[in-house]
Amino acid sequence: MTMPQKPLAGLKVLELGTLIAGPFAARIMAEFGAEVIKIESPDGGDPLRKWRKLYEGTSLWWSLQARNKQSVTVNLKHPEGLAIVRKLVKEADIVVENFRPGVLEKLGLGWEVLAAENPGLVMLRLSGFGQTGPMAQQPGFGAIGESMGGLRYVTGFPDRPPVKTGISIGDSIAALWGVIGVLMALRHKEVNGGKGQVVDVALYEAVFAMMESLVPEFDVFGFVRERTGNIMPGITPSNTHTTRDGRHVTVGANGDAIFRRLLLAMGRQDLADDPTLADNAGRDARRDELYALIDAWVGGQTEAEVLATLAAAEVPASRIYSVADMFADPQFLARGMLESVKLADGRECRMPGVVPKLSETPGGMEWVGPALGEHTDVVLSDLGYDAVAIAGLRKAGAI
């Protein structure tokens, strides 16, 4: 059976980035068929190779984040190393970078230089604060973007300090905006006859763009959204409740018809027929009362009993999944969200499946994150370097 061509097949991406935001953006492109050449320092490569849990000396996060990519080692402090990058840029459709603004310019790899050599180039630049403005030159990680962009202020409980989410979500959100921007720039170039351009993504702006009605509510009403734990004032009921067996279940019944079904499942016909609870505004005005009732109802049953009752009533509800729950869940398995691959030594390992699902040209995983410099010789050979020249570059410390 012939596999369908992936939608980004034919695009060449040069990744000049480390850790999370830039590499995650390039990973998405690689999953959907782009040829991604990742430039790494010969001195250890991307620090992500040593982050979190290591298997046989290499991070499992790296094996995921660098899947489908080619690793080429280049010393950006060596003139011949920079010459290699310039040659790769001439052939690239997209450059992804997440250095602090000004770093590439000092290396002679700034936008003006690269665009002059490749006018059709699309350059994705991810940074803490963007390429312009008074903070542009400051270092900024995802944690700073989450803080400045508003996410951390509203995350947690009102009587406690702000908290972070359990993942580097600021970097990941920025990466997604970056991919969206790249695809829009490619559309403009290919359909509208435009030229290449810079896609400038600031981490704090990527987070800020997700903050719903935060800005107009403050501007019109002077309202500052505060931390509210697991509930969202104005959207009731939607909360997390604890079962009799100590498990945690999220129940989302903020739709009018859904709320009525919840009450009937709870045996509260009286409240289901109460006209003051027929819409969200009425329910929100009595949210403390409603949450106490749902807490008591959920707390009197096991997790299995609660989920079975609410599923029969067609009320959205879920346990709070750990990764162990995911591995046993038929929905994850049916959707191919736990894909089995082989690590370098042949060990079977599950990785997250590819998102989104395309019906005609799906993405996929071809190989896990490569060894440092695994593709250096092949890529340089394709650029026209022969074996003697490659050996000379290696001896000189350029690769």
Residue 290: burial class (beta carbons within 10 Å; 0-12, 13-18, 19+):
buried
Which whole number is the average pLDDT over 90-107? Answer: 97
d(CA 83, CA 89): 10
Residue 24 has pLDDT above 90, yes or no: yes
Q: Which residue is associated with the tokens 């997250």?
A: 352
343-358 mean pLDDT: 96
* Angle separating helix axes 79-91 and 387-396, nearest 10 degrees: 130
Which tokens go with 79? Answer: 């003139």
Q: What is the pTM of this model?
A: 0.94
* Domains (range + CATH), the chain: 12-210+335-396 (3.40.50.10540), 238-319 (3.30.1540.10)
**What are the residue numbers of the active site?**
171
What is the predicted pLDDT for the residue at 272? 96
Mean predicted confidence (pLDDT) in 168-182: 98
Question: Region 49-70: what's the mean pLDDT?
Answer: 97
Q: Does residue 252 surpass a pLDDT of 60? A: yes
Distance, in Å, from the CA atom of 139 to the CA atom of 325, rounded to the nearest integer, reads: 38
Q: What was the pLDDT predicted at 231?
A: 94
pLDDT at 3: 72
For the cut 80, the answer to whether the pLDDT of residue 80 exceeds it is yes
* 2: pLDDT strictly greater than 70: no
pLDDT of 1 above 60:
no
Q: Render pLDDT for 143-173 as a digit per residue (tens, 0 to 9).
A: 999 999 999 999 999 999 999 999 999 999 9
How much is the mean pLDDT over the chain? 96
Q: Single out the residue of 106, 114, 63 nearest to residue 87, CA to CA.
A: 114
User: Cis omega (within 30 of 0) on the bond before 237?
Assistant: yes
Name residue 198's beta-bridge partners: 123
pLDDT at 4 > cutoff 90: no
